[in-house]
Amino acid sequence: MKPGNQARLARAEELVRRGDLAGARRDLQRILAAAPADRAAWKLLRAVAARQGDWTALRAVLEREIRLDPPGPRRDYDEGHLRLLFGDLARGWELYEARLQLPELAAPWHFSKPRWNGEPFPGRTLLLFWEQGFGDTLMFVRYAARAKDRGGRVVVLAQRELADLVATCPGVDQTVPHLDPIPPYDLQAPLLSLPRLLGGDLASLPAGIPYLDVPARVPHRQALAQVLAASAGRTRVGVVWAGSRTHKRDGERSLPPAALAPLGDLPGVAWHSFQLGAEAAPPLPELVHLAPLLEDFSDTAYALSGMDLVISADTALTHLAGAMGIPTLVLLAFGPDFRWMLGRADSPWYPSLRLYRQPTPGDWETVVRAVLRDLSPSPNP
């Protein structure tokens, strides 16, 4: 970077810190007019456009940044992710297939049978397998029913913690817990490729809920039933404020427990924490901690079935609640995961969800205040 541009970039950074986003944007545009490949300037311009809520400008910046990379799987994956975020799902899913060529994202196992390409398969067996996190499996297993409509038998290889729950999904003939022997099959496909194969644009999403239910085997059914019985007659609300600490964006998507404190003013609520591995908890009155009874997702599904409402950060529990049709308020970071898209309060994937978005990065106070406002009883006329 030329010395003049370095000074201008430093000034733009200072303007951002002062909150003069328009001024910073003007300086950055001058830098990029002279140095179109300046990654530092593009990165700061991206942050400015996001903080201004200018999604058109943000998309233009992201597309330009992607073009700075050489052609290949990484660029295709990044563009696919971008298109999914902005709701261009059909093209997004096509490009998202590039993940299978990236070592850090490709499933860590290989199958000898042919890849299924969406063709009819009567009389044969299709193996669908998980790739990434629990939430991804819960979200995309819904496509098993569409796959079943095209052929014979559908077997799902799922994470062990999810196997019994996935078995309740329509279209699933058999589930295989991870590391168990896989029965004979003829074709195979990863779960996250199913939207591309079976219809993944906004007009054709399989959004019918519920598509998951409480399994027959619930390890702590009796103990959980006793806990739920203790709050009979009150509004049961489940809360989760943090995701997995190993997630690369956990610092953005998880809330500090104290941020939920204002919700304690809601009357008549029986609070139930579904949070796992918590060292601290929000100061909600008489908060019941369910974690010791949540051995796997079967326990979680049973406990969720007793909730009137769920309030959650972007975690796997959000997907399970959505798949079960439970009313859920999702607390989203300013830069959300692609599946929540931008600028909308609903989810085409889960009709029972309502999305609450940070207006600026890190602003959980406004999010929680909006939730409190919407849940507070209306004053008598």
pLDDT digits (tens, 9 = 90+) for 58-77: 888 888 888 888 888 988 88
Q: What is the pLDDT of residues 261-282, one digit of tens each?
A: 999 999 999 999 999 987 789 9
pLDDT at 41: 87
Who contacts 277 (Cβ-Cβ below 8 Å, separation ≥6)?
245, 291
Are 64 and 169 members of one domain?
Answer: no
Greater model confidence, 218 or 381 = 218
246: pLDDT strictly greater than 70: no
Q: Which two tokens stand for residue 68?
A: 């700075």
Q: In 10 A of CB 178, how many CB atoms?
A: 14
pLDDT mean over 180-193:
96
Are 179 and 245 members of one domain?
Answer: no
Q: Answer whether residue 381 is part of any domain.
A: no
- pTM of the full predicted structure? 0.89
Are 80 and 43 members of one domain?
Answer: yes
Q: What is the pLDDT of residues 198-215, one digit of tens each?
A: 988 888 899 899 999 999
pLDDT at 1: 47
**Cis ω on the peptide bond leading into residue 219 (within 30° of 0)?**
no
Q: Which two tokens stand for residue 122?
A: 């009567």
Helix extents (H) in the chain: 3-18, 21-34, 39-51, 55-67, 73-85, 89-96, 134-140, 144-148, 163-166, 194-198, 221-229, 250-253, 297-305, 316-323, 364-375
Are 187 and 96 members of one domain?
Answer: no
Who contacts 192 (Cβ-Cβ below 8 Å, separation ≥6)?
96, 99, 131, 132, 136, 140
Domain span holding position 271: 221-375
Are 137 and 278 members of one domain?
Answer: no
